[in-house]
Amino acid sequence: GESVGLHLPTLSVQEGDNSIINCAYSNSASDYFIWYKQESGKGPQFIIDIRSNMDKRQGQRVTVLLNKTVKHLSLQIAATQPGDSAVYFCAEKIGGGGKLIFGQGTELSVKP
């Protein structure tokens, strides 16, 4: 069935280092992907998105890479800061509707 999963449930990095959070998806028909950040006590917050006709998209300090061949998505955070500590979710959409299917989440911990 449809599923989106994360390789690592927890990730600990040093402040200033780059972080890479990975995500595998199983549905080759997925055509839109989003990364969300969820801080404790808050709802998921949009970080960056990418359509299936792209393989890379950059934002401010964040880059999303999409490899459709192996159905893999990654989020790169440059110069990770303590404020980046949160749970990160990848989510996918399958065309025709608006609902998102979420992965299980990776907790990012940034050590000062």
Partner 1 sequence: DSGVTQTPKHLITATGQRVTLRCSPRSGDLSVYWYQQSLDQGLQFLIQYYNGEERAKGNILERFSAQQFPDLHSELNLSSLELGDSALYFCASSESGTWNEKLFFGSGTQLSVL
Are 26 and 4 in contact, with CB atoms under 8 Å apart? yes
Told to check if 1 binds partner 1 by CB under 8 A, we report no
- The nearer residue to partner 1, 97 or 112, going by C-beta atoms, is 97
Query: Pick from 4, 6, 39, 20: which is nearest to 105 by CA?
Result: 6
Told to check if 96 binds partner 1 by CB under 8 A, we report yes
- The nearer residue to partner 1, 7 or 51, going by C-beta atoms, is 51
- Binds partner 1 (CB under 8 A): choice among 68, 102, 107, 109: 102
Query: Pick from 35, 23, 5: which is nearest to 72 by CA?
Result: 23
Instruction: Name the one range near partner 1 by CB under 8 A: 13-21, 36-44, 59-67, 75-83.
Output: 36-44
CA–CA separation, 10 vs 16, rounded Å? 18
- Reported as type and span, the H/E element at residue 102 is strand 101-102
For partner 1, the binding residues (CB under 8 A) are 31-32, 34, 36, 41-46, 49, 51, 89, 91, 93-105
